[in-house]
């Protein structure tokens, strides 16, 4: 059976990202370069256009990722993660919220990060934790000190784990969710968790 037929059967003739049924085509998920159905997704022309030209992204179109990110197909998970990451770089807070909920197995996360959008240029200094360890988007960190969260009315306690962090344009700050609230934290009060 051809890759296209296998994918059409897998996706029930609907885009695996937005569920549209029109103008479907096979998309090889980078950096994979073979026709193995496990390394491909079936997507519509709208999704393909916005993936291949990120400057044309229409944020509301991608709200469909709220459903497709839960797919059991690793290639679909990778594409959902990459698009959510791209949207979060563009400042879409709802995409950050979905990224906070999305769990990827280690091998799938490595695949997603291997060719996904980059948040920083090479000349930007790295974000370092209290021990000088470089932090990456998606890392889990632990607070090393109780921190008063201004405006939120609570104290983030020492030892609290902050999962799936986001880096900011300031290398001394990260964003993460504590007690259900997305806040900015100083990296000098954080320790990267293994």
The first and second tokens of residue 109, run together, are 């996360």
Residue partners of 170: CB distance under 8 A and separation at least 6 = none
pLDDT digits (tens, 9 = 90+) for 2-56: 889 999 999 999 999 999 998 999 999 988 767 788 999 999 999 999 998 887 8
- Per-residue model confidence (pLDDT) at position 57: 87
Instruction: In whole angstroms, give the CA distance from residue 24 to residue 41.
Output: 10
- Per-residue model confidence (pLDDT) at position 119: 46
| Secondary structure in 3-state letters for 78-92 | HHHHHHHHHHHHCCC
| Residue keyed to tokens 């959902």 | 80
Instruction: In whole angstroms, give the CA distance from residue 189 to residue 34.
Output: 44
Of 74, 69, 11, nearest to 44 by C-alpha is: 11
What pTM, to 2 d.p., does this model score?
0.60
- Per-residue model confidence (pLDDT) at position 123: 55
- Per-residue model confidence (pLDDT) at position 40: 93
Q: How far is CA 94 from the centre of its chain?
A: 12
- Per-residue model confidence (pLDDT) at position 121: 43
Q: Which residues of 41-64 are buried (b: 16+ CB within 10 A; e: fewer)?
A: bbbbebbbebbeeeeebeeeebeb
Low-confidence ranges of the chain (pLDDT < 50): 118-122
Q: Which domains does the chain have, with CATH numbers?
A: 3-114 (no CATH), 119-194 (2.30.30.40)
């Amino acid at each position: 059976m051809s890759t296209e037929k296998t994918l059409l059967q897998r996706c029930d003739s609907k885009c695996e990202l937005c569920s549209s049924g029109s103008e479907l085509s096979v998309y090889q998920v980078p950096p994979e370069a073979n026709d193995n159905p496990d390394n491909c997704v079936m997507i519509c022309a709208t999704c393909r256009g916005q993936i291949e030209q990120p400057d044309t992204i229409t944020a509301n179109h991608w709200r469909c990722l709220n459903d497709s990110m839960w797919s059991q197909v690793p290639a679909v998970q990778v594409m959902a993660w990459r698009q959510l990451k791209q949207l979060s770089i563009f400042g879409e807070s709802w995409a950050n919220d979905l990224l906070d909920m999305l769990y990827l197995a280690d091998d799938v996360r490595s695949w997603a990060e291997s060719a996904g959008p980059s948040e920083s240029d090479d000349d930007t200094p790295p974000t370092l934790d209290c021990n000088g360890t470089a932090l990456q988007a998606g890392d889990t960190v632990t607070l090393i000190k109780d921190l008063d969260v201004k405006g939120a009315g609570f104290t983030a306690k020492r030892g609290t784990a902050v999962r799936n962090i986001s880096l900011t344009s300031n290398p001394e700050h990260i964003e993460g969710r504590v007690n259900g609230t997305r806040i900015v934290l100083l990296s000098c009060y954080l320790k990267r968790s293994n």
